Structures are given as C-alpha cells and as structure tokens.
Amino acid sequence: MRIRTGVLGFDDLVQGGLVGGRVYIIAGPPGSGKTTFGIQFLIQGAKEGERGLYVTLTEDPKNILQDMSSFSFNLKKYALAGMVLFVDMGPLSIQDFGGLKDRSGIKETYAEEVFKKISAIVRAKGIKRLVIDSVITLKFGSGNEEEQNREIARFFRSLKDLKTTTLILSEMTDLTNYSPEHYLAHGVIFLHNFMNGNNMTRALQIIKMRGTRHDCDMHRMEITSEGIRVYPTKV
C-alpha cells in the first residue's frame, strides 16, 4: 500500500504515493517549499491516525510553527493534539560536538547521537512518519569528506532500520552536484524555484523513486495558502 503525502497532485505522479518504511530526500534551494512539503506529509499522516515527528537541526521549531501558520492546513491543531511532534536537536551540534565526542572511550559521532535520540522518540511515541530538517549539519560533525560520507551512509542505514517513512530535507542549490545521500535514498525529489523572465517559476521533479513508475520531468508547482500543489503539466 502506498503512503499518501498530502501534497496535492504529487501522489498521482508516483503511482498513488510513497512506498512506506523508506527514506526519501526532498532537495531544493531556499524557499522552494521543503519545509512545507514535510509538514503537509506529517499532517496527512495525522489525519490517517499516524503520528509524525519533525526533527529540526538548524531551526527552532517555534519558527517552523509560526511560518506554517500562514497556511490553511492548521498545523497547530495537529501539534496540540500530539499527532505532529517537534524536536529541536540543533543545540547538540554546536555546543557538544566539535567532531568526535569521547565518552569513556566510546567515540560517538554527531549523526550517531542524533540517530539515537530520534530512534528513542520513534519507539516511545510510535512514530510512523519522520521529517529531518536538514541533512547539512550532520556533515559538520566529522572531519574529512571520506569520513563524512561514511557517517552519512551509516545514518541512512540506521534510518532504514527504523521502519518509519522518512523525508530528509536537503539544501541543494547546485542541482547537478549529487551528494552521497542522493545515492543512498530510495527516492529523490527536487523542488525548483527560478526566475523565468520577471516571474518566479516553481517546479517539482522526481529524480528517482525506486520501484515506482514515474517521469523525470519538471512539473509545474504552486505554493498557495493551502500549501504545495503539483500539476501534471510540465514546465
């Protein structure tokens, strides 16, 4: 059975929704709709009785709640009902981690620490849908690039074992420069916003979605007071 995302028009592009229990990347430049996509996904879950968790690594959850209040999907209601939970793991990164942390001989990386905390909440609260905003800080924890890649690979592997349906938001501005996480994810969705003459054009593109029939074209996308809406038409 497919997992409905709650993003209007999106599920029709991917045979009815996402395959559950997998890890997906939502990548895009600033303001392209990554957070909105993630929140719509969690609200859809809440409507279906599935509890969701939004993990912030770079932002205070209060700001997310405030920004999302301009939409009509009423995030606050689901947050107050305990169906969409927020956890701020940002402070971990800056104060506690200047790389590897030594704890009585056991070296634990930032990504491992984040995963442990997520995993505890997922188990305690019965989380079915997970959004991680965003992947960029997970890379700061380790030293060289090779080490970072290994750490990200381990993090993805652990997330897959969690069995939640997970969206990882990724600030990607150079859409030709694929990072390791794009290979590790089951699916990769790009959100575009670019100037077309004097107008800002938004588009959504499914770069990959394992086990799913889809096209790779850029579909017209809008952000309205109802949230993101994707159209079958191409840009």
Which residue, 67 or 108, has its beta carbon nearer to Mg ion? 67
Q: Does 179 bind Mg ion (CB under 5 A)?
A: no
Q: For residue 8, how far is the Cα from the chain centroid? A: 17
With contact defined as beta carbons under 8 Å apart, do 160 and 22 qualify?
yes
The SS3 call for residue 222 is strand
- At its nearest, how many Å lie between Mg ion and the CB of residue 188? 17
- At its nearest, how many Å lie between Mg ion and the CB of residue 35? 3
- At its nearest, how many Å lie between ligand ATP and the CB of residue 104? 37
- 85 vs 90: CA distance, rounded Å: 16
Q: Does 40 bind Mg ion (CB under 5 A)?
A: no
Q: Does 170 bind Mg ion (CB under 5 A)?
A: no
- At its nearest, how many Å lie between Mg ion and the CB of residue 146? 29
Count residues near Mg ion (CB under 5 A). 2
User: Where would I find the H helices in the chain?
Assistant: 34-47, 61-68, 75-80, 90-91, 110-125, 145-162, 180-184
Cα-flanking dihedrals φ and ψ of residue 219, to 5°?
A: -100, 140
Q: Tell me, residue by residue from 15 to 34, as one string, x for binding to Mg ion by CB under 5 A and - for no binding.
A: -------------------x
Residues that bind ligand ATP (CB under 6 A): 28, 30-36, 67, 70-71, 171, 223-225
Which residue, 56 or 109, has its beta carbon nearer to Mg ion? 56
Which among ligand ATP, Mg ion, none contacts residue 36 (Cβ within 5 to 8 A by kind)? ligand ATP
Angle between helices 145-162 and 110-125 (to 10 degrees): 10
Cis peptide before 93 (omega within 30 of 0): no
- At its nearest, how many Å lie between Mg ion and the CB of residue 193? 13
- 94 vs 141: CA distance, rounded Å: 9
Q: Which stretch binds Mg ion (CB under 5 A): 8-16, 35-43, 65-73, 77-85?
A: 35-43
What is the number of helices (H) and of strands (E) in the chain?
A: 7, 13
- At its nearest, how many Å lie between Mg ion and the CB of residue 119? 23
Which among ligand ATP, Mg ion, none contacts residue 95 (Cβ within 5 to 8 A by kind)? none
Q: How many CB atoms lie within 10 A of CB 130?
A: 25
Q: Does 35 bind Mg ion (CB under 5 A)?
A: yes
